[in-house]
Structure 1
Amino acid sequence: MAVGPALVRDRNAWQHLEAFVVCAVATILITRSFLGATGYPKIGSGGLHIAHMLWGGLLLLLSQLLVLSYLGPVTKPLAAVLGGVGFGLFIDEVGKFVTADNNYFYRPAVAIMYVVFVVIVLAGRLVHDRRPRGPAEQLANAAAIAAEGVVAGLPKAQRAVANRLLMRAAKGGANAEMTAALSTVVALCPPGRATPHFVQTVRNRLPSYLPQSWVLVWLTNILLIGQAAAGIVGSLLVLLTDPHGAELIAGFGQLISAAIAGVLAIVALVLQWSDDRSAMLRWSRYAALVTVLFTEVFDLVEQEFAGLTGVGVGLFALAVIALHERRSRRPLTKAQTST
Structure 2
Amino acid sequence: MTEDVHPESGAIGASAAQPTTPGATLRAAREAQGLSLSDIATRTRIAQRQLDAIERDDYPALPGIPYAVGFARAYARAVGLDEVAIAADVRRAVSESDLGATRYEAFEPLDPARVPPRKLAWVVAIVVVLLVAGYTVWRTQLLTPPTGEQIAQRDAQPASARPAGPPPVAPAAQPVVFTAVDDVWLRIYDEAGERLKDGLMKKGERFTLPPAAKNPMILTGRPQALAVTVGGKPIPPLGEADRTIADVPVSAEALLARGASRATTIDPPPAAPARRAAPRRASPSPVSTDSAAPTVAPAPVPEPATPAAAETRP
Q: Which structure shows the bigger proportion of residues in strand conformation? A: 2
- Kindly name which structure, 1 or 2, has the bigger radius of gyration based on alpha carbons: 2
Q: Please state which band the TM-score falls in when normalised by the shorter chain.
A: under 0.3
Q: Under a length normalisation based on structure 2, what TM-score does the superposition of the two structures give?
A: 0.18
Instruction: Report 1 or 2 for greater relative contact order, CA contacts < 8 Å, sequence distance ≥ 6.
Output: 1
